[in-house]
Amino acid sequence: MNKTGLIFNIQKFSLHDGPGIRTTIFFKGCPLSCLWCQNPEGLSSRKELFQYSNKCIGCSSCLEICPEGAISFSDSEPVIDRSICELCMTCADNCPTGALEAIGTEMTIKEITDEVLKDRVIFEESGGGVTLSGGEPLLQLTFVTELLKAMKELDINTAVETSGYVSIEALKKISPWTDHFLYDLKLLDPEKSKEYTGISSKPVIDNFKYLAQNGSQLIVRMPLIPGVNDNRDHLRLMADTLKEIGINELELIPYHNLGAHKYRGLNMDYQLQGLEAPSKKQVAAVREAFLSEGISTTSEV
C-alpha cells in the first residue's frame, strides 16, 4: 500500500464540489492536458517549484544556496533553469518572502483525516463531506482507495471528481467507498477531445455509461469553453448522451482565466491567453439550449 499521497492543496468550505459544505483534497497528476486547465500545478505527478515574481525582493539568497547552480538573476528576479533543477526545494525552504514555493506535499492518511475531522460538525450540519479532486485522484489509486475507506469508517460523505480517463477496474475498486462521482464531460467528439484535452473521449464516455448503469450517484459537470464546446451540435450531442442513460441534470462550469498566473509561476505557456469568460447572456443561452433538449442545468454564474 502507498503510505502517502502527493497533495497540492486542501481547500475547506468548498461549495461547488458536491453536496453541502465540503473539504476538497487536490491530488497531483493528470492524464489530460486541457487547454483551459485552471489547476496546472495538478498536471505533473511530481513535486514542482512555483515562482511568485511579485513576492521577490531580489535578495539573491536562492542564487547562493542552490546546489545545482540552476538559478541566475535577470531584472532583479531569479531565473530558474528547470532543465537542471533537481527539485530539492532548498531555495523554497530558504526564501525569506515565499517567492519560491514547493508545490506538492506527501501526506499520510492520518494527516489528512486529522485535518478533515476539524470540520466534521460543518459536514453534519450542511450535508457535506470530503471531495477528492486534482489533477486526477485515481492516478494515485491505492492511496485514494484507502483514504476513501478511512472516510467511510468515520461516517464522512465522500465524493470523487474524475476526468473519467481511467480504467473501469479503478472505478470498480473505489465505488463501494464513494457516495458521489463528480464526472467531467468536456468534449464528446473523440477528435475534438484529442485536440483540446490530449485524449480521446471514447473511454471517458464508456466509463460514464458504466457508472450510470451500475447505480453510481453521478453529478455530471461540463466546463463551458467559448468557441470550443458551446456550439449547438455539441450541446445536442451532450443532451442526447445524458438522456440515453436517464440523466436529466447537468452542472455547467463557465470558463474563467483566473488561473492564468499559475502558468507563469510554473514557467508554462497558457494557450488560451486572451479568451474571455462567457457572459451571463451566453451562459443563459446554453442553459436554454439544454432545457429545450430536456436537460436542466445549474451554473456557478
CA distances from 77 to 57, 63, 144, 267 (A): 8, 10, 39, 14
What pTM was estimated for this model as a whole?
0.94
The H or E element containing residue 260 is helix 260-265
Please classify residue 95 by burial: count the beta carbons closer than 10 Å to its beta carbon, then call 0-12 exposed, 13-18 middle and 19+ buried.
Answer: buried
The pLDDT of residue 77 is 84
* C-alpha grid cell, residue 67: 546546489
**Domain residues of the chain, as ranges?**
5-44+105-299, 48-103
The pLDDT of residue 76 is 79
The pLDDT of residue 1 is 55
Cβ neighbours, 10 Å, residue 272: 19
Q: Which residues does the chain have with pLDDT short of 50? A: none
Is the domain 48-103 a CATH 3.30.70.20 member? yes
The pLDDT of residue 296 is 97
The pLDDT of residue 66 is 95
The pLDDT of residue 134 is 95
Helix (H, G, I), strand (E, B) or coil at 89: coil
Is residue 10 within 8 Å of residue 25, measured between CB atoms? yes
The pLDDT of residue 135 is 95
What is the spatial distance between Cα 64 and Cα 85, in angstroms, rounded to a whole number? 14
**Domains 5-44+105-299 and 48-103 fall in the same CATH topology:** no
Taking CB atoms within 8 Å and a gap of at least 24, the contacts of 59-64 are: 59/96, 59/97, 61/91, 61/94, 61/95, 61/96, 62/91, 62/94, 62/95, 62/100
Number of alpha helices (DSSP H) and beta strands (DSSP E) in the chain: 11, 13
Per-residue b/e over 194-233, b at no fewer than 16 CB within 10 Å?
Answer: eebbebbbeebbebbebbbeeebebbbbbbbbbebbbeee
CATH number of 5-44+105-299, picked from 3.20.20.70, 3.30.70.360, 3.20.20.390, 3.40.50.300? 3.20.20.70
What is the spatial distance between Cα 148 and Cα 166, in angstroms, rounded to a whole number? 17
Angle between helices 109-117 and 141-153 (to 10 degrees): 40
Question: CB within 8 A of 247, min separation 6: which ones?
Answer: 212, 218, 220
The pLDDT of residue 75 is 79
Cβ neighbours, 10 Å, residue 134: 27
